[in-house]
């Protein structure tokens, strides 16, 4: 169950939510105006998170790709109460408190807050988000992202970063993407991008996680469809093991209706 919620929305007083749905910090690390986020964005493990890394001798390690790559994107979806303020000069604030009930109940109360910014200027469109989350216990998560699109040229720059403050190991990462969109074909925009991810202490103390990717998306406006293709490398360095790099390719189509 992804969402089951009710909400009240007022232009003057903001939006109140209750039920299973996005916490205030959800997607705060995933702001992206590149036009290629369907196949590549700050959560780089989405493309191939389940497979294990291989040791240098060819045997499987015990480390999944997703264990070494995360974007610390807030608290996702919970059974929660949430409030979003109206937008003032492009800025809006949100906060929420809730608990996990799916896929299993945890009985842990969590809360967060986030600030978002969305504005279009003469030549630029700018979107950004910054969030603070308390997932339970003494752990804290700080994350944010910003994306800038130059409307005249189609060039874009996207940045994201996150930090998880734990008692044992503090994980952190930085992400950068450069994109370009153009009307090459009459059927819709074509978007290209390349990105890079650099993580530290995510898979364990002393570990370093690097990933590099390239993406292309062709929009088919009449069919409300995006055709996409992406490729990505994953590299994990650990003090306790020598691991081979991993490589993934993903292609497909997304239809919106």
What pLDDT score was predicted for residue 2? 87
Which of 96, 33, 40 minimizes the C-alpha distance to 212?
40
Give dist(CA 127, CA 32) in Å, integer.
8
How do the pLDDT tens digits run along the chain, 257 residues long?
889 999 999 999 999 999 999 999 999 999 999 999 999 999 999 999 999 999 999 999 999 999 999 999 999 999 999 999 999 999 999 999 999 999 899 999 999 999 999 999 999 999 999 999 999 888 999 999 999 999 999 999 999 999 999 867 799 999 999 999 999 999 999 999 999 999 999 999 999 999 999 999 999 999 999 999 999 999 999 988 899 999 999 999 999 98
What pLDDT score was predicted for residue 137? 85
What pLDDT score was predicted for residue 240? 83
List of residues 6+ apart from 111 with CB closer than 8 A: 95, 96, 97, 98, 133, 134
User: Do you find a cis peptide bond into 52, omega within 30 degrees of 0?
Assistant: no
Give how far Cα 220 sits from Cα of 35, 40, 244, Å. 13, 19, 38
CATH number for the segment(s) 4-255: 2.40.160.10
What pLDDT score was predicted for residue 138? 87
Give dist(CA 195, CA 202) in Å, integer.
19
Cβ contact 197:69 at 8 Å: yes
Q: Where are the domains of the chain?
A: 4-255
Model confidence, pTM: 0.95
Q: What three-state secondary structure class fits 204?
A: coil
What pLDDT score was predicted for residue 167? 66
Cβ contact 168:153 at 8 Å: no
Give dist(CA 79, CA 211) in Å, integer.
33
What pLDDT score was predicted for residue 1? 84
Give dist(CA 12, CA 19) in Å, integer.
23
Phi-psi region at 107: left, alpha or beta (left = phi > 0; alpha = psi -120 to 50): left
């Amino acid at each position: 169950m992804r969402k089951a919620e009710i909400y009240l929305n007022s232009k003057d007083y903001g939006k109140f939510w209750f039920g299973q749905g996005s916490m205030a910090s959800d997607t705060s690390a995933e702001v992206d105006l590149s036009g290629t986020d369907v196949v590549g964005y700050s959560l780089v493990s989405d493309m191939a998170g389940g497979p294990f890394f291989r040791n240098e001798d060819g045997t499987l390690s015990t480390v999944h790709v997703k264990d070494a790559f995360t974007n610390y994107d807030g608290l996702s979806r919970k059974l929660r109460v949430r409030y979003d303020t109206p937008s003032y000069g492009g800025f809006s604030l949100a906060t929420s408190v809730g608990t996990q009930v799916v896929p299993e109940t945890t009985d842990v109360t969590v809360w967060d807050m986030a600030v978002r910014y969305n504005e279009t200027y003469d030549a630029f469109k700018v979107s950004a988000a910054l969030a603070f989350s308390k997932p339970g216990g003494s752990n804290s998560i700080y994350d944010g992202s910003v994306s800038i699109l130059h409307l005249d040229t189609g060039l874009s720059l996207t940045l994201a970063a996150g930090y998880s403050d734990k008692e044992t190991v503090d994980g952190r990462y930085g992400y950068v993407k450069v994109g370009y969109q153009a009307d090459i074909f009459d059927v819709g925009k074509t978007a290209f991008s390349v990105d890079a991810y650099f993580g530290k202490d995510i898979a364990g103390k002393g570990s370093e996680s690097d990933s590099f990717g390239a993406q292309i998306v062709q929009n088919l406006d009449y069919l409300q469809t995006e055709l996409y293709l992406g490729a990505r490398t994953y590299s994990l360095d650990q003090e306790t093991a020598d691991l081979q790099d991993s490589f993934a390719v993903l292609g497909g189509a997304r239809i919106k209706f």
